[in-house]
Chain A
Amino acid sequence: MADAALILVIEDEIQIRRFLRASLSSHGFRLNEAGTAREGLNLAATNRPELVLLDLGLPDLDGLEVTQRLRSWSDVPIIVLSARGQEQDKIAALDAGADDYLTKPFGVGELLARLRVALRHAAQRQQAETTPVFQLDALRIDLNNRQVSIDGLEVHLTPIEYKLLSALARYAGKVVTHNQLLRQVWGLGYGDQTQYLRVYMGQLRHKLEVDFTRPHYILTEPGVGYRLRVVD
């Protein structure tokens, strides 16, 4: 599936493009490159890439705008590339529909892991199939039967805890922002009440993790949201 997938890189820094070209083509991806947002949007429309790597510091349009324009007609997975200090832009792009992010400087391992998760989710979406069972190490989440177990022993979760965990499991491996989780679990009016989220996430971790200060399953993305770990 991942073989020969077409990736569109929208990035104005030549050095970063060179690095992405070298590492992605050696892993069997095809590449389109754009140095500006407009060029990138044109290429996205004509070549229909399977994934977009979008830099947030483009000279002509900001990342949020590009994400919104792409999302207006396409479900293509978007991974934003951000520098430190662009946290707000990053969160805005994720809330506007970008799938994941990478903070510069990043290594090739991280890049490939994010790419694979995003491509896998896109493929599942196209076949309208969701994995009914999520399994990682001792943790098993059965979305059909609403059952969560650790080492085969069922874990009793409150309805809210289960909603949180299942929201993360549906997007396993992908970052889910605070805002997205709050809306999915509590509803539209609670988009900024992050303390609810924190309290329940803490409870969930106490029930699932061996050491809640070193979470193994539910990872924190500081200032952004949470991510359920997947095996790569």
Chain B
Amino acid sequence: MLRMSARSLPALPETRSKFTLLRRFEKRNPDGFTRFVGALWVLTIIAVCTGICFVMFPYFERANLIMIYLVGVVVVATRLGQAAAIGASVLSVAAFDFFFVPPYLTLVVEDAQYILTFFIMLSVAIVISRLTLVIQKQSEETRRSQLAVETEQLRNAVLSSVSHDLRTPLAGITGAASSLLDKKSPLDENTQQELLQTIYDEAARLNRLVTNLLDMTRLEAGVVEVKKEWQPLEEVIGTALARLESNPVNLARVSSIRVDLPEDLPLVPLDGVLIEQVLINLLENALKYTPNTSAIEIAATAQPQQLTVSIADQGPGVPAGEEERIFGKFYRATMTSDTVSGAGLGLAICRGIIQAHGGRIWVEPCPNRASWLEGQMEGAIFRFTLPINPTVRPEANLA
């Protein structure tokens, strides 16, 4: 569907040029554009009122016709603000006077009572638009204070989660180092080695956590610069796998990860360092949440406008109803036991990075293995897309 409409676009050059003209206006002068649209609305509403009045004119008193205009003015006042409301009331009196007050089709007023009509109209416009403004302000304040409370609650939850996650490895390091430093009770070589290993492992864990926290902060602050370069996906997958394999704990399982890429996968514009991080986070999740024996597979397919990458595992899957929430910050799966460590930032970082690339990331149950017993599915497929703009694809035949 999308492709078809995109193709039919060039057949309508006129509408497109009008749209681009409006778009350009909107871009250059957004305030002016809003006012322009508002004025169009006012004109439309008054025109509609006038139309209704024409239909009613033969059967109703003039005083009833003015009620129709009043409704129009009230609508404008509630939706478009004070200036528009005043404009609308002036316009309605003018239109009323022009079309329905003798002498017809002039702005001359025979009867001075219509001046009163005008002032009533004007004051209604002002009062209603003021009231609307006050109500808007009040509801905004309520919303803001609600938000403040929620932010405060979230901040506390985050602080306690982060400080727990930071303190645990620190406690391990401090404990192990102090035992090694203690000269009074010398340790045998095995224990020493074990404590040194603890220090090393916990420091690595701390490093991952701090890196994640910094990445998340930088993504949220919008200071992450996405340096897109056209490159083959296989290269990024290669560096991600190499980095995971550099951790001896992972080596055996990472080397069993299957990579299934079509031979003719096109180049995609992506930031290699950031997408590598996405792959690492997704693969680490798969390694962490699935049993040692289960298989993990990376695959990719290319469509004209995008590349879809998927990472499938045979783990417990994502609990039904949590598919969206798992991408939130500091989310930990409800069934997570204490043996699985992490601050719940990995997927939030993935989403941040993919969105910065203009793509989408989501999770699906494994199609063949879905078993919805106890609200769980067996296996999960994480998919993300990376847009390709085929018109700017570089040609690379420079042999």
Residues of A within 8 A of B (CB): 84-85, 87, 105, 158-160, 186, 193-196, 198-199, 201-202, 205, 211-215, 219-220, 222-223
Please, how many angstroms separate the alpha-carbon atoms of A24 and B371 in the complex? Answer: 56
Residue B396 interfacial (CB < 8 Å): yes
Residue B259 interfacial (CB < 8 Å): yes
Smallest CB gap from A221: residue in B: B239
Contact between A220 and B207, CB atoms less than 8 A apart: no
Contact between A198 and B230, CB atoms less than 8 A apart: yes
Contact between B235 and A220, CB atoms less than 8 A apart: yes
Residue B234 interfacial (CB < 8 Å): yes
Contact between B234 and A199, CB atoms less than 8 A apart: no
Return the contact of A195 from the options B214, B231, B238, B242 (Cβ within 8 A): B231
Contact between A213 and B267, CB atoms less than 8 A apart: no
Smallest CB gap from B276: residue in A: A222
Smallest CB gap from B272: residue in A: A222
Besides the known contacts A84-B211, A160-B399, A198-B267, 6 further A-B residue pairs in the complex with CB atoms under 8 A apart:
A193-B394, A198-B230, A198-B232, A212-B238, A220-B239, A220-B242
**Residues 286-297 of chain B, each 1 if its beta carbon lies under 8 Å from chain A, else 0:** 000000000000
Please, how many angstroms separate the alpha-carbon atoms of A145 and B255 in the complex? Answer: 36
- Tell me the interface secondary structure of chain B in the complex: helix
Question: What residues of chain B lie closer than 8 Å to A198, measured between beta carbons?
Answer: 229-232, 235, 267, 396
From residue 180 to 239 of chain B, which have CB atoms closer than 8 A to chain A? 203, 207, 211, 214, 227, 229-232, 234-239
Residue B1 interfacial (CB < 8 Å): no
Contact between A195 and B234, CB atoms less than 8 A apart: no
19 pairs of residues in contact across A and B, judged by CB atoms under 8 Å: A85-B214, A105-B207, A158-B399, A186-B398, A194-B230, A194-B231, A195-B396, A199-B232, A199-B396, A202-B234, A205-B234, A213-B241, A213-B259, A214-B242, A215-B238, A220-B239, A222-B236, A223-B271, A223-B272
Interface size on B, as a range, is: 20 to 34
Smallest CB gap from A161: residue in B: B399
Contact between A213 and B231, CB atoms less than 8 A apart: no
Smallest CB gap from A85: residue in B: B214
5 A-B pairs closest in CB distance? A195-B230, A199-B396, A213-B259, A198-B231, A223-B273
Please, how many angstroms separate the alpha-carbon atoms of A215 and B236 in the complex? Answer: 11
Question: What residues of chain B lie closer than 8 Å to A194, measured between beta carbons?
Answer: 229-231
Residue B115 interfacial (CB < 8 Å): no
Residue B261 interfacial (CB < 8 Å): yes
Smallest CB gap from A104: residue in B: B207
Smallest CB gap from A211: residue in B: B259
In the complex where A105-B203, A195-B396 touch, is A222 in contact with B259 (Cβ < 8 A)?
A: no
Please, how many angstroms separate the alpha-carbon atoms of A213 and B207 in the complex? Answer: 27
Contact between A223 and B227, CB atoms less than 8 A apart: yes
Smallest CB gap from B265: residue in A: A202
In the assembled complex, the CB of B243 is this many whole angstroms from the nearest CB of chain A, namely 8
Please, how many angstroms separate the alpha-carbon atoms of A186 and B398 in the complex? Answer: 9
Please, how many angstroms separate the alpha-carbon atoms of A223 and B277 in the complex? Answer: 12
Smallest CB gap from B275: residue in A: A222
Contact between A222 and B239, CB atoms less than 8 A apart: yes
Contact between B229 and A220, CB atoms less than 8 A apart: no
Most A Cβ at <10 Å: residue of B235, B236, B267, B276: B235
In the assembled complex, the CB of A125 is this many whole angstroms from the nearest CB of chain B, namely 29
Smallest CB gap from A87: residue in B: B273
In the assembled complex, the CB of B295 is this many whole angstroms from the nearest CB of chain A, namely 16
Question: What residues of chain B lie closer than 8 Å to A105, measured between beta carbons?
Answer: 203, 207
Question: What residues of chain A lie closer than 8 Å to B398, measured between beta carbons?
Answer: 186, 196
In the assembled complex, the CB of B239 is this many whole angstroms from the nearest CB of chain A, namely 5
Please, how many angstroms separate the alpha-carbon atoms of A158 and B229 in the complex? Answer: 24
Please, how many angstroms separate the alpha-carbon atoms of A186 and B399 in the complex? Answer: 9
Question: What residues of chain A lie closer than 8 Å to B211, measured between beta carbons?
Answer: 84
Contact between A195 and B394, CB atoms less than 8 A apart: yes
Contact between A219 and B207, CB atoms less than 8 A apart: no
Please, how many angstroms separate the alpha-carbon atoms of A105 and B205 in the complex? Answer: 12
Contact between A214 and B230, CB atoms less than 8 A apart: no
Please, how many angstroms separate the alpha-carbon atoms of A105 and B267 in the complex? Answer: 32
Contact between A213 and B229, CB atoms less than 8 A apart: no
Return the contact of A222 from the options B255, B273, B396 (Cβ within 8 A): B273
From residue 246 to 277 of chain B, which have CB atoms closer than 8 A to chain A? 255, 259, 261, 267, 271-273, 276
Contact between B241 and A195, CB atoms less than 8 A apart: no
Please, how many angstroms separate the alpha-carbon atoms of A26 and B341 in the complex? Answer: 35
In the assembled complex, the CB of B276 is this many whole angstroms from the nearest CB of chain A, namely 5
Please, how many angstroms separate the alpha-carbon atoms of A214 and B251 in the complex? Answer: 13
